[in-house]
Amino acid sequence: MDSRLTTGDRSLPIAPDSAYDWRWMLKAIISRPLIVLPFPVLCVLAAMLVVLLRTDVYTASTTLNVTNVRLSIIRDDAVYTESQFDPTFLETQIQIISSDSVIADVARTADGNSAGEAAQKGLDAAVLERIRRPLSVARVGLSNLVNIDYSDVDPARAAEIANAVARSYLSKLDRDRSDAAEAGSGWLRDRLQEAGPKAKIVSEALPPLYKSNMRGLFIIVAAGAVGLAMGFGAAIAAAFFDRRVRSAEQVQQVTGRPCFGLVPRTGGTASLREVVDKPFSPLWYALRYASVLIGAGTDARGGRLLGVTSVSGGEGKSTAAANLALMNAGAGKRVLLVDAQPYDMSLSTALAPSARVGLVDLLGTESVDLASRITTDPTTGLSFLPLGTGQAPEKAAQMLWSPAMERLLPSFRHYDLVVFDLPPMLAVGDVHAAASMLDGTLLVVEWGETTEEDIESGLRMAPAVREKLVGTLVNKSDEKGMQKVLSPFFSLLTRQRSLVGGGGKKPAPSLKSVG
């Protein structure tokens, strides 16, 4: 067996998960639909409300053809030619169309417009801005054509204002040419009247028949897309801060040790003898894998002492310990299961309810006679050493893993495998002391409850557990939840069901899960 499973060398032939790659983000999104879905739903509802309540707007358009006529003097006469196209010229005319002088003229001449009345009293900047804001002036492609667009809730008014802007601009051009001609002679004055910027209305604006608002469907779809992006971001953020264990890959990355399997949560309680009642179950396969590694690590000292622990209580470590012992006893090995949990006697109560003496009582004497304290199941051949009830829990905890336990260890090595049901790592002193005396440890992790930080903290506080950690077992996993996290490990394990048709014997009545 590879010595790295029982030494401080943390390297393993396991490819760690990439922390925050696209697979991680995809898992984060798929596994959190309740976080993702509210965002697009709310955005779509808000968009629908906006579409229903918004005011209809109509846009009318007037098109001008704008050119620059140049006056050229040839001998005693003058000719008119269009100058070569100059982009700055057309841009200048566009700015003039939307200038204050043109807009003010429109404001003064707009019939029935309160803005026009106000403009006559002083041309307040706010009045001009109210007319300019719905106005859009832009060149049409690469041509000399300029579109004057005006939007209003009244289609007739939109056309009226668009045409008024065009007429006001044409009037301004005429005035500017007249002013320039005043400075010349009579002959030049007549010719300057036809030179300079020239504009002609190509098409006048008519009251539009259709609304120019952005299409409601597009708004709703865009809002849904934005909401979906927000939902994805929220799910990824939630995954970043939520480090509860939901895959074997997470446990392997934290511990650097193999994950033996994922045991699903069942409708009832798991059995202390499930590997006997339900062969080829996920627990059976997981403990089969663990047994192979543990068995291959048996050394020349004559036996292997293995402790089973968890981060906190209720994660199913006692059930895992009992089934691991049964798995090896069923293979013909001499196996002893030991209740070494002074804070909870559930295992002793379940397997030896009538026993009044046990491990603690043996530690309190000079005797090393294990046989007098052990009960053996004639059906499975498993031997069990209960905790004993002769001492208070606090005194029992102090006696366990004391020098008295070191005196008993040679007696345990007469067995092929001794499985100790240890306290959870919350009892740091007990678990660290136990791991210091044992050959290896197995960590049981509850799916969806235990966090990566919990595991890391527990292993740091009990370094002996970390150094002798054989592997982990993820318990009480949710099969539907596992499918959402896209775990390759889980996908591979689900194929185990196809190895044996029917999946084993009908389960018999069994003891309840403890620990």
Q: Do residues 512 and 350 touch, judged by C-beta distance below 8 A? A: yes
Q: What is the pLDDT along the chain (515 residues), one digit of tens a residue?
A: 333 334 334 443 344 444 567 777 887 888 788 999 999 999 999 999 999 998 999 999 999 999 887 655 555 554 444 555 677 888 999 999 999 889 988 888 765 444 444 444 455 788 888 889 999 999 998 888 999 999 999 999 999 999 999 999 999 988 887 776 665 555 455 555 555 688 899 999 999 998 888 888 999 999 999 999 999 999 988 888 888 888 888 899 899 999 998 888 765 455 888 898 888 888 899 999 999 888 765 554 556 899 999 999 889 999 999 999 999 999 889 999 999 999 988 898 889 888 878 888 888 777 667 777 888 988 889 999 999 876 677 788 888 998 888 888 888 888 999 999 999 999 999 999 999 999 999 999 998 899 999 999 999 999 999 999 999 999 988 877 766 666 777 777 777 767 765 444 444 444 455 55
For residue 485, give the 3-state DSSP assignment.
coil
Task: Give the span between the Cα atoms of 356 and 377, in whole angstroms.
Answer: 18
Q: Do residues 139 and 90 touch, judged by C-beta distance below 8 A? A: yes
Instruction: Return the H-helix or E-strand segment holding 501.
Output: none
256: number of CA atoms within 13 Å, CB side? Answer: 16
* Cα–Cα separations (whole angstroms), residue 437 to 305, 400, 464: 9, 11, 9
What is the chain's length?
515
Other CB atoms within 10 Å distance of the CB of residue 265? 15
Q: Do residues 336 and 385 touch, judged by C-beta distance below 8 A? A: yes
CB neighbour class for 52 (10 Å; exposed up to 12, middle 13-18, buried from 19): exposed
Task: Give the span between the Cα atoms of 91 and 99, in whole angstroms.
Answer: 12
Task: Give the span between the Cα atoms of 135 and 161, in whole angstroms.
Answer: 9
Other CB atoms within 10 Å distance of the CB of residue 290? 24
Sequence-separated (6 or more) residues with CB below 8 Å from residue 247: 482, 485, 487, 489, 490
Strands (E), 3-94: 58-74, 77-82
DSSP label at residue 497: G
Task: Give the span between the Cα atoms of 3 and 11, in whole angstroms.
Answer: 11
Q: Do residues 337 and 325 touch, judged by C-beta distance below 8 A? A: yes
Max CA separation in the chain (angstroms): 139
- Edge-first strand listing for the sheet containing 383-385: 259-264, 469-477, 440-446, 304-310, 417-421, 335-339, 383-385, 375-376
Residue found under tokens 């089973």: 308
Residue 218 φ then ψ, to 5°? -65, -40
Q: Do residues 287 and 442 touch, judged by C-beta distance below 8 A? A: no
Strands (E), 12-87: 58-74, 77-82
The whole-number pLDDT of residue 28 equals: 82
The whole-number pLDDT of residue 391 equals: 67
* Cα–Cα separations (whole angstroms), residue 484 to 21, 32, 256, 329, 489: 16, 9, 24, 37, 13
Sequence-separated (6 or more) residues with CB below 8 Å from residue 246: 31, 447, 448, 481, 482, 485, 487
* Cα–Cα separations (whole angstroms), residue 195 to 76, 167, 213, 219, 224: 17, 19, 41, 48, 55
Query: Two tokens at 313?
Result: 């209580």
* Cα–Cα separations (whole angstroms), residue 444 to 116, 251, 259, 468, 473: 82, 10, 10, 14, 5
* Cα–Cα separations (whole angstroms), residue 510 to 122, 319, 406, 474, 507: 96, 12, 35, 22, 8
Report the candidate in 410, 476, 417, 413 with the shortest Cα–Cα distance to residue 292.
417
The whole-number pLDDT of residue 465 equals: 93
Task: Give the span between the Cα atoms of 317 and 343, in whole angstroms.
Answer: 14
For residue 98, give the 3-state DSSP assignment.
coil
Instruction: Return the H-helix or E-strand segment holding 86.
Output: none
- For the chain, how are helix, strand and coil distributed in percent, rounded to 5? 45, 15, 35
**DSSP bridge partners of 260:** none
